[in-house]
Amino acid sequence: MDLDTTFRSPGSWGARAQSFLPTAVAREPGAPNVDLGPGYQRAMDGTSAHPNLIKVPPKTEFVAGGWNRGTALAHLRRGEEDQIVCEGGVLGEAFNDYLSSFPPDELGRLYKGYTEGVDAWSHLDAEAQDSLRPVDADQLSARRHRVPTRSEVWNSPTVTEHLEAACGKMTADLESGACKMLGLVEDVARQGLMPLHLNPLTMETTKKRLCVNHRKLNAMSEWPKSQLDGLQTIEDQVRGRPAYGAVSDETSGYHHHLLSEDSQELFGVVFLGYVFVYRALTFGWGPSCYYHQARGLVTVGYHRLHGGLVQLYIGKLTRARSHRVS
Residue 49 CA, chain-centre distance (Å), reads 30
Q: Quick one: pLDDT at residue 317? A: 42
Convert the pLDDT of each residue in 58-112 to its tens digit: 888 899 999 999 999 999 999 998 999 999 999 899 999 999 999 999 999 999 9
Confirm whether 3 is domain-assigned: no
The identity of residue 252, as a single letter, is: S
In contact, 299 and 306? CB cutoff 8 Å: no
Which residues are CB-neighbours of 76 under 8 A, at least 6 positions away? 84, 85, 86, 89, 99, 110, 111, 114
Q: How far apart are CA 240 and CA 14, in angstroms?
A: 62
Residue 251 CA, chain-centre distance (Å), reads 11
Confirm whether 109 is domain-assigned: yes
Total domains in the fold of the chain: 1
Q: Quick one: pLDDT at residue 40? A: 65
Confirm whether 28 is domain-assigned: yes
Confirm whether 5 is domain-assigned: no
Residue 267 CA, chain-centre distance (Å), reads 12
Return the minimum-mean-pLDDT range out of 47-51, 62-66, 183-187, 313-317. Answer: 313-317
- pLDDT cut 70: percent of the chain above it: 84
Predicted TM-score of the model (pTM): 0.87
Higher pLDDT, 290 or 23: 23
Domain that holds residue 254: 10-325
Confirm whether 203 is domain-assigned: yes
pLDDT of 322 > 50? The answer is: no
The whole-number average pLDDT for the span 140-165 is 97
Q: Quick one: pLDDT at residue 140? A: 97
Confirm whether 164 is domain-assigned: yes
Confirm whether 4 is domain-assigned: no
Q: pLDDT-based confidence at 172, cuts 50/70/90?
A: very high
pLDDT of 231 > 90? The answer is: no
Q: Quickly list H helices, the chain.
A: 40-44, 92-100, 104-116, 126-132, 137-144, 157-161, 163-176, 185-190, 215-220, 231-238, 287-305
- pLDDT cut 90: percent of the chain above it: 61
